[in-house]
Each structure stands twice: as structure tokens, then as C-alpha cells.
Amino acid sequence: MGTYGGDEVAALVLSVGHTWTQAGYAGEDSPKSIFPTSVGWVELPHEDDKGDDADNSEDTQMQDVSRDQAGNNINNKDADGGDIPNTGVGSSTSGSGLGAGTDANKKTAAKKPRGKYYVGDGEISCWRPDMEIKSPLKDGLVEDWDALEQIWDHAFLKRLRCDPTEHPLLITESAWNTREIREKLTELAFEKYNFPAFFVAKDAVMTAFASGRPHALVVDSGGDMTSVVPVYDGYVLRKGIMRQSFGGNFLSEQILAHFQAQNIDIVPQYLIAKKAPVEVGHKPVVTLRDRPATPSFHKMMQMKVVHDYKESVCQVSETTYNEQNITSRPQKPYEFPDGYNLNFGADRFKVPETMFNPKEFIKNPTADQESFVGLPKLVFNSVQSCDIDFRHMLCGNIVLTGGNTLFPGFADRLHWELNSIPNFV
């Protein structure tokens, strides 16, 4: 059997992260499509009781007709003196009784909500009064399978516009994924989409290979999780996996709480009808639309503004955080959707600092957040959990991935902190 390259088999690659989903073809340098992982869901009204009563009446009439037909067959048998023929009517009579009982049980049981899904940045950002926002993942694991199926449909049928039966599929999974979830993914790939071949790869291994390293310490800080995963010769060293529920969304929540404490109201774009220019620090002059929305949709649109602020303004100090040194750094301006604008100085360094010193910078931590450790400590714990023969190799091949690692100064700060740890290797 021959060996084929990625560009010869036209395999599909799908990576579903907590914030973004990437889809494309193996062998290419970048994904063909990137869209949000969150989906919109609008519940459709159930059938009214009148409709249910009509269905019940129709079922009863069908059962009566079946009984009459069965009775006629029995009478014909008695008159002719022959055996009762094994017809579909005779079989459906007993089946009707079982089916009627099953239907009755289904109607008395709680109905599964019916709804319509909206996938893609344009769809979920479009205001709809009753649209809820869902995410199929939690802590890097699949939680909502209906939403995940909608994402697969959108990726293969609308974005890539391909026939799944003609392409092998490779998907990525977190290093701590479970066997049960992997089996369900395999079932979905083969039974619904009929992929000819299917493979599940660890995302940390794929990240290491993408950087040309068979051995690496992969530091992944994304929207929902921050993890450190050691990879050796293409395999994950499970005892060295370190993770915590700390990611970009948590940082954005900290920023939003800081704005609220300063009486800065974050007005999302969908509520703004028109605005007027104002001076720096002045109250916005804005006309709002009357658009009632679900809390999940409003929160998502608010967080979009906060994410944009975070990505445009925030920065990581290249060395250990020092308030006096940070104050002398230049300020950056930012204008919110409602027209309010301000120059941000030391504040833009404080929230990213949470990744390196959470105990000092997290305000009002919960019980879980009190156990958070800084990223340098997380890396140190991962390295120390591996065999001593691997440690030097892992420390020399640290790979950064995830949206939080794109903060200016992030790589320099992590390098500074790791070199400050005694006996790191």
C-alpha cells in the first residue's frame, strides 16, 4: 500500500475550539474557514392541545378500522374453513396496539424542545428577540451534541461545500478527552456523514507538529481553558498535563467588572441607532434602539466589545509587574460603540497580569479561582511531573498557542518568569 501526502488524499481538517472553529483541507497552510463556535437557538412553539387531540382521534379511528378489517379476515377464514393468511393487516393489528401505547407514552412524557439553529458570525450577531446563545463545549469537552452537529453541518456543507462521503476527516480533541466522547464523535462521523475514514488527533500534538517539533511543551491559553501539555515523539505525556479553567473569557469578565466599577456602561452595537462625536472622557451622545433580547445574546454582544478592547489595548509587562514603571508607559486610546472614548494607561496592563499572578489581581475570587496558579507555575509543575530525562528537552521546546498568547509582551514575560524560577530544568 502506497503512502500519500495530505494534498493527495484531500482530507478535511476540523478543529472546534471554545471560541472559534477552523475548517479546511490537509496540506494547506491555513484554514479555509474560521467562524465562531457559539450557536444561536430559537425555540419553536409546540403543537397546541387541539392538534394533539386531533391526532389522538385520528389514531383511534385508524385502530378501529384495523380491528374491523382483522375481524373480516377472521370471518372469512371461518366461512372458507382455511387458515388465516399472514397478511399485513393481521400484523398491523397487533402492531397498532403496541404503537398506540408507545405514542401515548411519548405524548405524556416531557416534549423535547424544538428549535432552529443559527451558525456563523453573521447569523448569531443578527438580533432576534428570542435567540439564546449556546456553546457545545465546556472545559474543552463536548457537552451539547445537537449544537456540535450544527457546527459540523455548517463547516462541511456551507463553508467548505464538500461531499463528506468523498473525503477522509481529521478532527482535533483536547488531551483530556474521554473515551465516551471519542466514541460518539466516531459514531457521528460514520453514521450521519458517512466519511470513508476518520481520525481523532490530540490538539497539542498537532500544534507541536505544525511548529516542526516532535517533542514540545505546548502552552495553550484559549477562550475557556489554559493548559500545559508535554508532547514526546508525537505522544502526549498524560502525567504532565496541567490545566485550569482560566482563559480569555475570564479576563474579559474581569475587564467588564472593572468597567462597571468605573460606571462605564458597555452598550453593544445592536442597541445603537445613532451617535455623535464627543470629547475624550465625556459622556456619550447616543440614541438607542428598543430591541429586547435574551440575557445570553446581550452578554455575547457585550463581550464582543470587551474582547475588541482587550485585543486592541491590553498588553503584558515584559518583566515583573511594577506599578511605577507601568505608569510611565504610553497610553492607548479606545472608542466604544456608543462613542465614549478614553485613554487607557496602567489599567491596560493589569488584567493580562492576572495570568501570571492570579492571587493578587483576581477580584472577589470564587472557591475554584482561589486555587488558580500563575502560568509560570503551571509550566513548572508540568515539567516536574515528567521524567527527568525529558525535562531538558521539553524546556528547550516551549510552543505557545491560543488567543491569550498573542498579547504583546506575552512570550517575553513568560521567558522572564521561567528563567527566574530556581532549578527550573
Share of the chain above pLDDT 90, in %: 72
Which residues face 116 on adjacent strands? Answer: 42
Name residue 307's amino acid: H
User: In the 3-class helix/strand/coil scheme, how is the chain assigned residue by residue?
Assistant: CCCCCHHHHCCEEEEECCCEEEEEECCCCCCCEEEECCEEEEECCCCCHHHHHHHHHHHHHHHHHHHHHHHHHHHHHHHHCCCCCCCHHHHHHHHHHHHHHHHHHHHHCCCCCCEEEECCHHHHCCCCCCCEEECCEECCEECCHHHHHHHHHHHHHHHCCCCHHHCCEEEEECCCCCHHHHHHHHHHHHHHCCCCCEEEEEHHHHHHHHCCCCCEEEEEECCCCEEEEEEECCEECHHHCEEECCCHHHHHHHHHHHHHHCCCCCCCHHHEEEEECCCCCCCCEEEECCCCCCHHHHHHHHHHHHHHHHHHHCCCCCCCCCHHHHHCCCCEEEECCCCCEEEECCHHHHCHHHHCCHHHHCCCCCCCHHHCCCHHHHHHHHHHHCCHHHHHHHHCCEEEECHHHHCCCHHHHHHHHHHCCCCCC
| Confidence at 8, pLDDT banded by 50, 70, 90 | low
- Residue-level pLDDT at 422: 80
Name residue 265's amino acid: D
Average pLDDT rounded to a whole number, residues 337-345: 94
Cα separation, 399 vs 127, whole angstroms: 39
Name residue 24's amino acid: G
Q: Are 356 and 390 in contact (CB under 8 A)?
A: no
Q: Which residue has the cell 491560543?
A: 402
- Residue-level pLDDT at 213: 92
Which residues face 295 on adjacent strands? Answer: none
- Residue-level pLDDT at 229: 97
| Confidence at 95, pLDDT banded by 50, 70, 90 | very low
Q: Does the structure show a pLDDT above 80 at 131?
A: yes
Q: Name the average pLDDT for the chain.
A: 84
Q: Could you report the per-residue pLDDT of 356-414, keeping only the tens digit for each?
A: 998 888 876 675 777 789 999 999 999 999 999 999 999 999 999 999 999 999 999 99
- Residue-level pLDDT at 324: 87
Q: Could you report the per-residue pLDDT of 266-320, keeping only the tens digit for each?
A: 999 999 999 999 999 999 999 999 999 999 999 999 999 999 999 999 999 999 8
Task: Please count the other Cβ atoms lying within 10 Å of the Cβ belonging to residue 330.
Answer: 6
